[in-house]
Structure 1
Amino acid sequence: MVGTPAARAGASRPEHEVPLRAEGVLTDGGPDTVRFLDAEGNRLQTDEANAPYAKIVEDMTPDDAQRLYRDLVLVRRIDAEGHALQRQGELGLWPSLLGQEAAQVGAGRAMRKQDYAFPGYREHGVAWCRDVPPENLLGMFRGVNHGGWDSNSHNFHLYTIVIGNQMLHATGYAMGIQRDGDVGTGDPERDAAVMAFTGDGGTAQGDYNEALVFASVANAPLVFFVQNNQWAISEPNYKQFRIPPYQRARGFGFPGVRVDGNDVLAVYAVTKAALDAARDGQGPTLIEAFTYRMGAHTTSDDPTKYRSAAEVDIWREKDPIKRMRGFMETKGYADATFFDQIDQEADELAARIRVACQQMPNPELPTMFDDIYVEPHPVIEAERTEFVAYHASFEQEGAQS
């Protein structure tokens, strides 16, 4: 009788529904998690989870490690500058990626030039890897442009504020690549794949689940990349799903992998393997990057209202930059001069984007009606005319007074 509706109706809350925030549930992804570095940057032994990706990591050179470390530091500095600019009134909003640098850099650097990324609104690290100038990210949050970059020039779509909506966009684009014959040809310069990024909260959206259905049945060349940062705004994971995102992929008919999202080597290796499979015509993969959002959901959020300082302290010890630096120092891949140079470059980048942000010109008011439709639209043109006349009326009143 335990499983019948009548029995469940009168039963107390099942034990597995109790919010579990203890060790092994919050801070560790479990035995299935692909990981190559521990919290101090020590190289871990090959095990069942990371063995399929070990050769990718072993083939990486000291130069590869230096490039990834540079990315991590510069992306974090861009994020810190965006946060500071918002607090000083220069930006309307800023969604921080603090703590998620390894997840985004590892995924972004695994992509080839012809691959296409569909971000949410926190993927500043992926944008960096796709050569989107960071000033352009600031322009959008300053409200002076419609997005700030040419998507097709970078193969990086505009940010999507509607939660989960980009997953369907990515699926459709991936199906288009497939129909264009740019999958499974064996030509590394031609075969392409798509990556769709979202957070753990996005997995509760209908668009997300619909995208997984379409990608699966179409065998689309698509990698779903879920950054499980443990909190969907103020909602913890146990209010978002009953089983982890990577396990849910099996129900849609394709593989799911959980990777340590604070280990840039592991993220790079897992993502590279998934993208290679997609380009080869093997269909979609879902990657769950198990990480943590160290800051607020956005600058309008106060995370102290819903999570403890002790929880944040636990994850601070798993910092992705500290981990990568420890690995490089242990291996002798870089010296103090290298790390100092990267810090200096980060300072110079921050100064550059701060000046650029403050000097961005305000757009002319009528331009808010531009680029809504490909061709001129009579309703939009009428609204533009009315809008311009309305604002001009204030100037006339001021001149008369």
Structure 2
Amino acid sequence: MPDLDPAVDYVQLLTPEGERVEHPDYSFDGDDEAIRGLYRDMVLTRRLDVEATALQRHGELGLWAQLLGQEAAQIGAGRALRRQDFVFPTYREHGVAWCRGVDPLQLLGLFRGVDQGSWDPTEHNFHLYTIVIGSQMLHATGYAMGVQRDGAVGTGDPDRDTAVVAHFGDGASSQGDVNEAFVFAASYQAPVVFFCQNNQWAISEPTTRQSVIPIYRRADGFGFPGIRVDGNDVLATYAVMQTALQRARDGGGPTLVEAYTYRMGAHTTTDDPTRYRHSDEVEHWKLKDPIARVESYLRRGAGTDQSFFDQVAAEAEELGVHLREGCKALPEPVVTDLFDKVFTETPAELEAQRSEYADYLASFEEVGA
């Protein structure tokens, strides 16, 4: 069980009580209207997460990876991006997908099994979800090296210079692919930001058992900067990511950002977190809820009218209806579709496997008849 009150040194600009604080190196350059926009993004992202979890419980999705509690980390990172920046996600970046304009129904289609990721990565500059833990880190580093060789780094043109973001979790930090990506990114000064959402648990394994030092300090051994940010603070996450992304665009090379946050829900809908963590730990982190602290600031520090919160709540209700109705209108999964989109030209061996599997499925129909 992680320490409930660790001596955490991180960048924070908005306290859990909703008070703005200063930091010597980072600041949020937006106004209260921008903060209201971030609040809206987080509320709608949480509603997406809650609805998808309920749909899975009702048998409409095969699985869902929850992000409850990680909204600030994802929205802060997502809104710091420029149009030309490219994102390589894991399987939990629903908030970043929202920021990049991916229809949430397309996320549900993926977890329903009716497609293998139907959004166009080049349209949204947001790659398909990655289930193989850590593999997207090498993909992102390779893409960043390509951007570098295309001359889209360090030109001074804000519409051309490009940064790449690789999202991963604290569990993935134990994978070899992650360390190999660090080696290549450092060696070639690739314009990539490694964004680790440290939600304290790699399924049932606490971060403290995986790493004897804070994750962000691993960057020291590879020769590039590491920074830890309060991942439940959307303002701080946005500010830190703005700086790291601009450093990459300017040709300064990679940065490791550790967003220190917490997964208040389960790892996925097949997980039972009560088997490995205590309820008082969850209650402790609820006091640091990323949405509640922004709401507290907007109400007290920015004098935001109740009508704004009512409007966001109504929009969340509309999103919920859209997701429920849209998901139920999706077709049933066709299992043999798994063989599609593996190769541009399907080899004979894979065609034979498809045929054999189709015969296997058909055998159950014959038994039923």
Which TM-score applies when normalising by structure 2?
Answer: 0.95
Match of 2:214 in 1: 244
Structure 1 distance, partners of 2:153, 2:195, is 20
| SS in structure 2 of the partner of residue 158 of structure 1 | coil
Q: Shift of residue 327 of structure 1?
A: 1.4
Alignment of 1:2-401 (within 5 A): 21-25=3-7, 29-30=8-9, 33-44=10-21, 46=22, 50-54=23-27, 57=28, 59-332=29-302, 334-364=304-334, 366-388=336-358
Distance 1:384 1:308, change over 3 A: closer
Q: Shift of residue 138 of structure 1?
A: 0.8
Report if the CA contact (8 A) 1:223-1:284 is conserved.
yes
Q: Shift of residue 22 of structure 1?
A: 4.3
Distance 1:182 1:365, change over 3 A: same
User: Residue type of the partner of 1:325?
Assistant: E
CA deviations on 1:346-387 (whole Å, 9 max, x unpaired) are 011011011111110125555332211123423223334445
Q: Shift of residue 158 of structure 1?
A: 1.0
CA deviations on 1:204-227 (whole Å, 9 max, x unpaired) are 111111111110111000000001
Structure 2 distance, partners of 1:43, 1:180, is 41
Structure 1 distance, partners of 2:3, 2:33, is 39
Is there any run of 5+ residues in structure 2 with no aligned partner, and where?
Answer: none
Report if the CA contact (8 A) 1:297-1:303 is conserved.
yes
Q: Shift of residue 390 of structure 1?
A: 5.7
Distance 1:301 1:218, change over 3 A: same
Q: Shift of residue 126 of structure 1?
A: 0.6
Structure 2 distance, partners of 1:391, 1:205, is 36
Distance 1:236 1:398, change over 3 A: closer
Distance 1:23 1:382, change over 3 A: closer
Structure 1 distance, partners of 2:362, 2:296, is 61
CA deviations on 1:75-126 (whole Å, 9 max, x unpaired) are 0000000111111111111111000000000000001111111111111111
Report if the CA contact (8 A) 1:42-1:330 is conserved.
no
Report if the CA contact (8 A) 1:65-1:333 is conserved.
no
Report if the CA contact (8 A) 1:257-1:286 is conserved.
yes
Structure 1 distance, partners of 2:320, 2:255, is 36
Task: Work out which structure has the larger RCO, using CA pairs closer than 8 Å and 6 or more positions apart in sequence.
Answer: 2
Question: Which range moved further: 76-85 or 157-166?
Answer: 157-166
| SS in structure 2 of the partner of residue 53 of structure 1 | coil
| SS in structure 2 of the partner of residue 340 of structure 1 | helix
Structure 1 distance, partners of 2:42, 2:303, is 16
Report if the CA contact (8 A) 1:108-1:126 is conserved.
yes
| Greater gyration radius | 1
Is there any run of 5+ residues in structure 1 with no aligned partner, and where?
Answer: 1-18
Structure 1 distance, partners of 2:363, 2:5, is 64
Q: Shift of residue 165 of structure 1?
A: 1.1
Structure 2 distance, partners of 1:246, 1:76, is 27
Q: Percentage identity across aligned positions?
A: 59
Match of 1:6 in 2: none
